[in-house]
Amino acid sequence: MYDFKFADIGEGIHEGRILKWNYKVGDEVKEGETLVIVETDKVNAELPSPVDGIVVKLGAQVGETIEVGQTIILIDDGSETEEEPKTEALKESKSAPGVIGEIEVSSEVMASSTESKPTTQENENKVLATPVARQLAKDLGVDIKGVNGSGEMGRVLKEDIYQASEQKRTPQTFTVPKVSISVQGEVEYVPLTSLRKTIVKSMTLSKQIIPHTVLMDEVIVDGLVELRNKVKKQAAAEDIKLTYMAFIMKAVVLALKKFPNFNASFDQENERMIYKKYVNLGMAVDTPVGLIVPNLKDADQKSILELAKELKSVADRAVDRTIQLKDLQNTTFTITNFGAADVAYGTPIINHPEVGILGIGKIAQKAIVENGEIRVAYVMPLSLAVDHRVIDGADAGRFLSYIKSLLSDPMMLLLS
């Protein structure tokens, strides 16, 4: 009998809701065929069968929630006893989480029972925890070995880390008191969606850890408007929707190459910077269910038209919830578009553990003074937020000025 459990696939995903079963009890299933679609707060995961066999039991029905470590399905694969999985167990490594559709499956999310009988000092010090909980502990400066896990077999969960961090900070810092919200008249109580809960935690974590500082400026983009108008028909002929964002992305890529400290993460625990030699450019996408930040892999190796084509594809998949987990992982720098909401400026929140985020405002015509004369020009507002622990204001200013120079003279984008 094969006990197929919901594995820890990283990115803060620790539960899911059964969206669709492709098989029922008594059906025969082949290895690799999609058993079920599980809706998580970020992606709809198609989980393939790890073995051939007959479906004996479904762990949850459509609409029910299933957590990491719980049985999804029991499959009679002909074995008399529960076998070890045919694939290698998922490793607890945040740098290599499974890809949806290609998840390596373990018959036991937890390690083998020998962990409960340690024979070495290393085993005695081992802590059961998800990769996300381990990373969160590092970010918040919590010793995970001293945290009492509330999960199965004492597994340390994110909630345990938050609680330990709060207890650690209580003597030194102000703790937000519980608030009693008074109401008058008719009200409606609407529970938060899973995605909104994730956004709440992510934004709170970023603001708790990162001291943000924001620089704002604007750039005259007459040349950019003219260039886009010239080439967008040609792009349309190739079935490519050429937006300003593709040009902006190219400018950011070139700026990240010139200023590599912006394409990095701050390893607070080890007091070091981690410079990324690749550029995975994130783009905040407004969807009906909330904000999702997919990224364009290896954006530094793509032309403006290639960026435009991939941007449209990724954004569409984010909106209709067909985005895959791999499209959300390993972002190195993020862009958010205030202009889509008809807004000029904002104070964007950094996508932790990145060190910066660029906000783009609405392009509009306005009066400017140039060479002592007033004229009308197209102006693009820019808002750059940086992690002030590792990026000084002067460096942020130089980074923003370089992006301005590229956008004001877009031919430089085509020659690079």
Active site residues: 388
- Which residues does residue 214 pair with via DSSP β-bridges, in sequence order? 385
What is the tally of helices (H) and strands (E) in the chain? 9, 19
**In whole angstroms, what is the distance from residue 65 CA to residue 103 CA?**
19
- Cα–Cα distances (Å) from 160 to 149, 150, 369, in that order, read 6, 7, 57
* Phi-psi label, residue 396: left if phi above 0, alpha if psi -120 to 50, beta otherwise: alpha
**In whole angstroms, what is the distance from residue 308 CA to residue 302 CA?**
10
In the numeric block, the tokens 């950011």 are attached to: 252
Max CA pair span of the chain: 88
- Which residues does residue 364 pair with via DSSP β-bridges, in sequence order? 379
Q: Residue 176: which residues within 8 A CB-CB, separation 6 or more?
A: none
In the numeric block, the tokens 């991939």 are attached to: 310
**In whole angstroms, what is the distance from residue 206 CA to residue 357 CA?**
12
Bond preceding residue 177 cis, omega within 30 of 0: no
Cβ atoms of 175 and 162 within 8 Å: the answer is no
For the CA atoms of the chain, what is the radius of gyration? 25
**In whole angstroms, what is the distance from residue 218 CA to residue 400 CA?**
10
Question: Chain centroid to CA 31: how far?
Answer: 30
The conformation of residue 69, written as its DSSP 8-state character, comes to T
In the numeric block, the tokens 């003074």 are attached to: 369
Q: Packing angle between helix 158-169 and helix 131-140, nearest 10 degrees?
A: 10
The conformation of residue 265, written as its DSSP 8-state character, comes to E
In the numeric block, the tokens 């204001």 are attached to: 393
DSSP symbols for 378-407: EEEEEEEEEETTT--HHHHHHHHHHHHHHH
**In whole angstroms, what is the distance from residue 224 CA to residue 378 CA?**
9
